[in-house]
Amino acid sequence: MSFPTDLDIARAAHPKPMPEVAAKMGIGEHLLRPYGTELAKISLDAIDELADRPRAKYVVVTAITPTPLGEGKTTTSVGLGQAMSHVGKNAVLSLRQPSMGPTFGIKGGAAGGGYSQVIPMELLNLHLTGDFHAVTAAHNLLSAMVDNHLHHGNELGLDLNNITWRRVLDVNDRSLRNIVVGLGGRMDGVTRQTGFDITAASEVMAILALATSADDLRARLGRIVVGYTRDNRPVTADDLSAAGSMSVIMRDALAPNLLQTIENTPVIVHAGPFGNIAHGNSSVVGDLIGIRGGDYLITEAGFGADMGAERFFNIKCRASGLTPDAAVLVATVRALKAHSGKYRIVAGKALPEDLLAENPDDVMAGAENLRKQVENVKAHGVTPVIAINAFPTDHASEHEAIRKFGESLGARVAVCTHFADGGAGAVELAEAVIEACEEESDFGFLYEESDPLKTKIEKVATTIYGAAQVDYTAAASRQLQNYEDNGFGSLPVCIAKTHLSISGDPTLKGAPTGHTLTVREARASVGAGFVYPICGDMSTMPGLASSPAAARIDIDDDGQIVGLS
């Protein structure tokens, strides 16, 4: 008998009414805004109303450097949240909202998998309550205001060659990466080159994820820099009188969304900033509610510990004021084998047969990546727990090799079968996390706000990436100096690089050392509150594959969605 699809499992679940799910968190029905019967928005008033409740232990789920297929962080997060009820604890999950671009591309949805899923799976993966569309609309309103300002005389003196604000769309569409606007007659606007990014890469999305209140959201939107004058003075959304209208569009989107898992664990789903170009974490307001909603708040950071977790620690925790008690590092046999350098994994293609054969030696050949990611967690004073996300093709000897290696690093290790067994398959992990959270936390940031931008970049590169040095192009150095001169030097850094290597080179597997990180460009998300140096070629608008998921998704004769994964 074949294993049921994620969609079949999700549809067979027995969801509880949303007021009952909210009640588990101490949230009254008066704080809910229902969206149908299966999800609701939570009023930000919950932050103050829950303030007297005990603070939950705060756990971030991260991973070793992933393969192009991903290693199951969301599934592990859900499995861990569900497992807490099996050991007598109450957990709340706080997760990012999936982008529809990857949903219709190769990756598919991001609701978890198997018996560790967030439901309703279809709504979660297909624009939920419309927050992404609000981000798209607010972002593009500002784009329209920029071009309207140019059309009506450009009083602020924006340099047409130094306008940094593009447009966004929540669809993978490579043909929109570089475009020319204003073609046609005189009344059709100023002709200039620009382009589209995917909505998840919008600074408005990063602002939604980092704002702590409606007032903070409005202030951050006003600080967005859309470009520079010829003498390098920044021009902001407030300068264009656009931030007020953007705030109106974003008003409802600021309220987090409440869903549940297959086993009825409460899940806050909110915001979805890109994991490469932005900080790749769910919203601060979601965590400020969830931290008072149970015994454990479990959140997830994008990609490996060198990326999402580093930004969780140094960007999100600065914004929220919350400090983590433990970090779960998700590892898989196939990813560690890939880091041996012997195998090539391609998204959308079958795994190499040799990779599935029993071979603990190959697992250990790639284990340096696990060692380095454990070190990256410990560099912030956080206790690591290694979760081995087990696949049916794994072998017990391979799990044992990872366990012994992880324990030699001073980490707790648990083998998890939550995909097939739900919360019961992650009980060992839950027990390890509970133990880890009892240890005294020594959390600290990697750099000080007062450090120069280049010092911040170099601390991340040498400590987290294992780089020997950082080189800067002349353009990057000029840009960083300009940001310092304009008062942006106190912002954290969010280094945009490949997620497929700890280094800036996607071909370097394992835990490379002694390499040079080259910063070719630097941009500032002043409203979000970080500077992002760009290393390598970062695409902010993905393309579709030759056989995208969009070609398989449909509605059957009974009106049911089919083909969604």
pLDDT one-digit tens code per residue, 469-525: 999 999 999 999 999 999 999 999 999 999 999 999 999 999 999 999 999 999 999
State the Cα–Cα distance between residues 236 and 225, nearest whole angstrom. 4
State the Cα–Cα distance between residues 29 and 255, nearest whole angstrom. 15
Instruction: Check residue 540 and give its pLDDT.
Output: 87
What stretch of H or E contains 433?
helix 427-437
The pTM of the full predicted model, rounded to 2 decimals, is 0.95
More reliable by pLDDT, 344 or 257:
257
More reliable by pLDDT, 110 or 483:
483
What pLDDT, in 10s, does the model give residues 175-190? 999 999 999 998 999 9
Instruction: Check residue 7 and give its pLDDT.
Output: 87
The CA distances from residue 202 to 213, 276, 293, 526, in Å, are 19, 12, 30, 12
Indicate the pairing of strand 554-555 with strand 561-562. antiparallel
Tokens standing for residue 103: 């949903």
Average pLDDT of the chain is: 95
The residue-averaged pLDDT of 259-287 equals 95
Count of CB atoms within 10 A of residue 244's CB?
12
Instruction: Check residue 552 and give its pLDDT.
Output: 86
pLDDT band of 104, cuts 50, 70, 90: confident
pLDDT band of 195, cuts 50, 70, 90: very high
The residue-averaged pLDDT of 59-85 equals 94
* Model confidence at 103: pLDDT above 90: no
Instruction: Check residue 1 and give its pLDDT.
Output: 59
What pLDDT, in 10s, does the model give residues 356-392? 899 999 999 999 999 999 999 999 999 999 999 999 9
* Model confidence at 262: pLDDT above 80: yes
In this structure, which amino acid lies at residue 96? R
Instruction: Check residue 190 and give its pLDDT.
Output: 96
State the Cα–Cα distance between residues 164 and 139, nearest whole angstrom. 13
State the fold for domain 454-534: Formyltetrahydrofolate synthetase; domain 3 (3.10.410)
Q: Domain spans of the chain?
A: 6-130+253-437, 454-534
The residue-averaged pLDDT of 26-39 equals 95
Indicate the pairing of strand 412-416 with strand 116-119. unpaired
Q: What is the CATH number of domain 6-130+253-437?
A: 3.40.50.300
More reliable by pLDDT, 544 or 52:
52
pLDDT band of 551, cuts 50, 70, 90: confident
